[in-house]
Amino acid sequence: MEKISLHELQFFLEEDLFLIPEDKQQLENSSSQVVQPSSKSTPAEVQESQEVYDSPIIEEEKIESEPIQVKGSFSNGLLIVHEEEELNAEVMDMLVKMINAVGKSMNEVGMVSSEILEGRSLEDFMALNAHTILKFGRISHPVNSVPAIPYEVYTDRETQYLFADSLSQIAEDKMMKRKLWNALQILFNINK
């Protein structure tokens, strides 16, 4: 390793350096074991200052964000994440029928819109502890990093995911409804 003088170090270090008593003792102990430099090199003189600088210890505070607000009781771990800010009556009716058809009740389900998830981390999302996640439409959130194929059930540890098109699109397209129903039958083990 190349030896650099204190004068040369000032060009690399932008901040002031301070020698604390513990490090000074350690340096003194280790310097007694170091071979003294040859007479060809000139030792750099260091002036020791008796000033003591107290720097306040700043504890890193873990900023806890508010939990994600979920509509519904969310008692059975089934979370519906949807693209639309608000679901119109026709779409909501279709969703209620689908949830009832798989043996669940809308009273047990939790619902979150993409607007609520915006700017939230994946950790915030996972803190909801959902066991089954139905994601409808495009959501601007890290949950999209889950490698789920649309209309196919994807399981990651204890959580099952089903990604599909937006509820508004599904409500208007019979083929999408059929694809969603087939995927829901697999997800909820329904044999009809």
What pLDDT, on the 0 to 100 scale, is given for residue 182?
A: 93
Cα-based distances in Å from 71 to 12, 99, 100, 108, 151? 55, 15, 17, 10, 24
Phi-psi region of 10 (alpha: psi -120 to 50; beta: other; left: phi over 0): alpha
What pLDDT, on the 0 to 100 scale, is given for residue 24?
A: 76
What pLDDT, on the 0 to 100 scale, is given for residue 60?
A: 46
What pLDDT, on the 0 to 100 scale, is given for residue 161?
A: 92
**50 token code pair:** 């008796």
Q: How far apart are CA 90 and CA 92, in angstroms?
A: 5
Interacting residues of 95 by C-beta distance below 8 A, sequence separation 6+: 80, 87, 106, 167
Place of tokens 């019979």: 174
What pLDDT, on the 0 to 100 scale, is given for residue 28?
A: 77
Domain-by-domain residue ranges, the chain? 78-187
Per run of 10 residues, the mean pLDDT along the chain (length 192 residues) is 57 64 77 55 57 54 69 87 89 91 89 87 87 89 84 90 93 93 91 72
Cα-based distances in Å from 115 to 23, 118, 138, 175? 53, 5, 11, 27
**3-state SS, residue 36:** coil
Instruction: Work out the end-to-end distance of the chain between its first and last CA atoms, rounded to an integer number of angstroms.
Output: 74
Alpha helices in 34-173 (DSSP H): 89-101, 114-117, 122-126, 167-172
What pLDDT, on the 0 to 100 scale, is given for residue 4?
A: 60
Out of 3.40.50.970, 3.40.50.300, 3.40.470.10, 3.40.50.1100, select the CATH number for domain 78-187: 3.40.470.10
What pLDDT, on the 0 to 100 scale, is given for residue 185?
A: 92
Shortest CA distance to 55 belongs to which of 29, 21, 18, 84?
18
